Amino acid sequence: MNNFHKALIFFFGFVSFDLFQVSIASIVSTGDFNEDFFVIWSPTHVNTSSDGKTRSLKLDQESGAGFASNQMFLFGQIDMEIKLVPGHSAGSVLAFYLTSDQPNRDEIDLEFLGNVSGQPYILQTNIFADGFDNREERIYLWFDPTKDFHTYSVLWNLHQIVFMVDRIPIRVYRNHADKGVAFPRWQPMSLKATLWNGDSWATRGGQDKIDWKYGPFIASFRNYKIDACVWKGNPRFCRASTSTNWWNQYNFSTLTSTQRSWFKWVRKYHIIYDYCQDNERFQNNLPRECSLPKY
């Protein structure tokens, strides 16, 4: 057993208490895609198993596809197991995200950018806060995301937004609203997944287009968990720190020491673009949060 696998065992042992806390909270999801989601785009390109436990989206020359949650949420944790489009997937984009769908929208994005055969997928994350974005980060994953399902998660609370892959934090966006940094904290968001043609920009800046001879392109989903505050029109309920709203409690206000170690590992070995290092793009006037602590 190598050091990486030993570290994983230690990490999962460490988070078991957190997972126990999740298990005793109120789980919104039923585990049935037909119960918790509705198709928003091209139902002929959405395939759901007879028991509702798995779902796939298809992209071909006719259309892409997508689905969205029946409920809207304000804070919580979302987990989804996803297996990405295999083989030559250049130009395709699978988006898994939370969005308020307002003109001044808040949004928390995970976008999986396809690539030519043999080249790695890119996972791009982005955050919209009060209608402003330009907060992209990109990483290469440390595994082939087309061979098996992996868990992609978002923890969103009053203190921070944490993007995770198989429980490993890959990105943290802290709430620095008191320092003038926009943070999604008032608008409820629905959960969406879409598969679409993004070949104008997705792969090498749009240089590699979709090659339809490799289609149809199919991505699969299963074993999701939505543990979040369902929007009922009262933000104070969702902003409270209670046993039900476990995500707002102090234990989840920052990364643990073990999570920080994993986060630093991702930043050191897997990040390929960080908007906070793009002085040319921002004309040497980087967004304010770039100079503030991440945890």
The residues annotated as belonging to the active site are 107, 111
- Side chain identity at residue 106, one-letter code: D
Distance of alpha carbon 225 from alpha carbon 204, whole angstroms? 33
CA angle 94, 147, 60 (to 5 degrees): 40
Cα dihedral: 226, 45, 205, 262 (round 10): 30
Mark 215-248 as b/e (b = at least 16 C-beta within 10 Å).
bebbbbbbebbbbbbbbeeebeebbeeeeebbbb
Q: How, if at all, do strands 217-230 and 271-274 pair?
A: unpaired
**CB–CB of 11/168 below 8 Å?**
yes
* 8 A C-beta contact, residue 146 and residue 121: yes
Integer Cα distance of 240 and 153 in angstroms: 22
